[in-house]
Amino acid sequence: MTGAGPGSIGEAVAARLADDGFDVTVTTRARPVAEHRWHELDLADRTSVATFAQWYADQGAELDLLVNCAGIHLDLGSRWSEPQVLDGHEIHWRTNYLGTVDLTRALLPALLAAADARGTAGVVHVVSKLHERGVAAALVGEDWDYDSWVAYGSSKLALVHDAAALADEHGARGLRAVAMHPGAVSTNIADRGLETRPVLRRLRNLARPLERRTLMRPTESAEHLVRLATDPAIVSGYFHKSHPADPAPLAGDLDLRARLRVSTNEWLTGSR
């Protein structure tokens, strides 16, 4: 379970899975309070991803389910006029998409081993309705008019494609892979995006009681995610909460998916 920090969907999902008898490992950039097996993980750092994957392999534990909740949504006030670059990539793309794909591929042998042994294993990419704002050019490295919200949406659109590709490539071995939009949930994801906006941070703090009354709680969202992640009949697709839904039209563009896979594989192998 990635992204299991305080107040997150990941934290709630980890607690629910543990209650259901799963042996849960959580990752964050700093040790959480919850009592689960934990290891530090920074998705934007390839060394951190490799270190975590090796540590997990050294535990000798099976991997039946990988839930990718970790992600960032910065610049909520749309103040950036140009991309913020990290490791040569726009920061949302580098963290949310490339980091998640890097981790998933590093853990794929363990997932496939579990699928071979038990007949099934699962991957859930937690995405967003904002994947509808994604643009094809961002997925294939072409020029586009930068907007940080579009960048965030593009990173989530790419994850919708990745889940579908994983199911296509490894479904015959029992690997289930889905993309889930969790709905409108009251979490702390916006906090980092407001670090440089003190006025907006104060306004959001004042609005938190209303937010908590009108949005789903992380525990409510966790119910949907766990249902989706543990149902062996669900093998692929895009879901709103735990219900099948229609993703953005670009999510069905198979040519775009193929080009994305090529560029991603080049990045993963260091040939680009």
| pLDDT tens digits, one per residue of 71-95 | 999 998 899 999 999 999 999 999 9
Least confident of 103-107, 193-197, 260-264: 193-197
Helix residue ranges per DSSP H, the chain: 9-19, 46-59, 91-92, 100-118, 136-139, 148-170, 189-193, 198-214, 218-230, 254-269
Asked whether residue 125 is domain-assigned, the answer is: yes
The CA–CA distances, whole Å, from 20 to 13, 17, 53, 123, 165 equal 10, 5, 25, 18, 29
**Predicted pLDDT at 217:** 86
Asked whether residue 148 is domain-assigned, the answer is: yes
Query: Is residue 205's pLDDT more than 80?
Result: no
**Predicted pLDDT at 215:** 74
**Predicted pLDDT at 33:** 59
**Average pLDDT value for residue range 155-181:** 98
Asked whether residue 2 is domain-assigned, the answer is: no
Asked whether residue 4 is domain-assigned, the answer is: no
Query: Is residue 191's pLDDT more than 60?
Result: no
**Average pLDDT value for residue range 225-252:** 97
**Predicted pLDDT at 197:** 57
Confidence of residue 184 (pLDDT cuts 50, 70, 90): confident
Instruction: Determine the structural domain holding residue 97 and report its residue range.
Output: 9-269
d(CA 239, CA 256): 21
Whole-structure pTM over 0.85, yes or no?
yes
d(CA 270, CA 267): 5
Confidence of residue 207 (pLDDT cuts 50, 70, 90): very low
Asked whether residue 209 is domain-assigned, the answer is: yes
Query: Is residue 193's pLDDT more than 60?
Result: no
Query: Is residue 36's pLDDT more than 60?
Result: yes
As given in the structure block, the two tokens for residue 88 are: 């040569």
Least confident of 28-32, 54-58, 92-96, 152-156: 28-32
Task: Name the phi and psi angles at 174, rounded to 5.
Answer: 100, 10
Helix (H) or strand (E) holding 27: strand 25-28
Asked whether residue 213 is domain-assigned, the answer is: yes
**Average pLDDT value for residue range 2-27:** 93
Taking a C-beta distance cutoff of 8 angstroms, is the pair 166, 175 a contact? Answer: yes
Asked whether residue 105 is domain-assigned, the answer is: yes
Query: Is residue 204's pLDDT more than 60?
Result: no
**Predicted pLDDT at 107:** 98
d(CA 167, CA 164): 5
**Average pLDDT value for residue range 15-43:** 88
Tally of structural domains, the chain: 1
Any idea what the CATH number is for the domain that residue 96 is in? 3.40.50.720
CB atoms within 10 A of CB 227: 15
Asked whether residue 103 is domain-assigned, the answer is: yes
- The mean pLDDT value of the chain amounts to 90
